[in-house]
Amino acid sequence: MGGTQKLRLAAMATAVTLTATVVSVPMAWGATPTAPVTAPVSATDDDGIVSTVAPVLKTNGSTARTYSQQEARRVDAQGGDPAVLDYWTPERMAAATSLDEAGDRAFVAEKAQTLARTMVADASAASKAPVGKAAADDVVVTRPAAPADAEAVGQAGGMQPLGVKRFPISTGKLFIGGVNGDRYCSASALNTRSKRVVITAGHCVHSGRGGSWYNNVVFVPKYNGYASEPAPYGMFQARTLHTFRAWTRYGGTTRGWGRDVGFLSTYTNANNARVVKAVGGNGLMISKSFRFTAAIFGYPSNLDNGEVMWACTGTVAKVKAVPHTSKIVGCNFGGGSSGGPWVWKYDGRTRLGYTRGVTSFGPSNNKFIGSPHFDVKVRSLAIVANNA
């Protein structure tokens, strides 16, 4: 069972925890091109990757456009497109509403009943799980990286498996323009060679079956709607967007949720800093194992109206009713938390860990939240985003 915590509070409910050992396998990241690229895709491969140069709204807001390679270089040099950055005023960000996951809510509710019947068995299995051992097939794709300014994370604290006392600065809100108004998801920076990558849910970059890519996407690390400066580390405009073909084909169905993963590469912020240099980035882990202990972060709209970050800790388990997905019970995270990272070995000193999932789906009563299972295909998606 998960325990939920608010950014402004230190109290945390105790949760079942496990410890694992990192098994390191280095990633051979490719060289980063000078301009965004589109990944080749097999028309018959649901695990294929689809990519685009992130579209932006024209000044009249009615249609979208993309940049030429020359324009993209200029936008990066100036820390984002002024038209996009000016679009996201503090007032517009505060008014943005959560982008609920696409899909059949009745179907998810039905699956929630199945999950409820397995909760007792799952809790028993978790209590008997070995402590201090990683699964033999856990693979560290990339390790966490602190921001360039070491003082940004401080020195106090340590690994906090029973709760989160120091919240990450690498997690924030992902704002999306022009979707029946302005919307938001949750997202987090991921350490790769380019230092530009952000990870979220697939449905936070593409609307799914029969849909399209989203516009005016910007990442705001550690957004705090109650603060006088809600974007303390600035905005990072999306440069390219990436997800799996399965998500764009099937959306919120049993064939889509298991691939509801999205990545974006970003432009620099107004200080000409790349996102991981500015706020640090989690590592990435893939595995055949579905069970691990996680700290989950996000901006659920049912808690403080999504104005501040919340956290939940607990044990992740396989969802038998929805293929290739995991769940955690008891977080009470609603819409807006989508795309938030599921972090293994979260360290309170560095405020970083290893991303092993992202919030994707859940029933309307928030009894559980689900994530796609992170496997070797997610590694491939991360490489494409890094190289874009």
Residue bearing the bigger pLDDT, 320 or 375: 375
* Residue where the block lists tokens 């022009």: 178
Residues in Cβ contact with 267 at an 8 Å cutoff, skipping those fewer than 6 apart: 75, 76, 79, 80, 81, 196, 236, 237, 238, 239
Residues 258-282: pLDDT tens digits?
A: 999 999 999 999 999 999 999 999 9
Which tens digit of pLDDT belongs to each residue from 120-147? 334 334 334 333 345 556 888 889 999 9
High-pLDDT (> 70) share of the chain, %: 74
| Higher local confidence (pLDDT), 89 or 181 | 89
Max CA pair span of the chain: 59
Instruction: Write out the CATH class of domain 3-387.
Output: mainly beta
pLDDT at position 51 over 60: yes
Q: What is the pLDDT, as a whole number, of residue 155?
A: 36
Examine the pLDDT at 119 and tell me if it is beyond 50.
Answer: no
What pLDDT is attached to residue 59? 65
The percent of residues above 90 in pLDDT, for the chain, comes to 60
Mean pLDDT of 189-208: 97
Task: Look at residue 5 in the predicted model and tell me its pLDDT.
Answer: 61
Q: What is the mean pLDDT of residues 366-388?
A: 95
For residue range 286-302, what is the model confidence (pLDDT) as tens digits?
999 999 999 999 999 99
pTM for the structure as a whole: 0.82
- Per-residue pLDDT band at 341 (split at 50, 70, 90): very high
- Mean residue pLDDT of the chain comes to 80
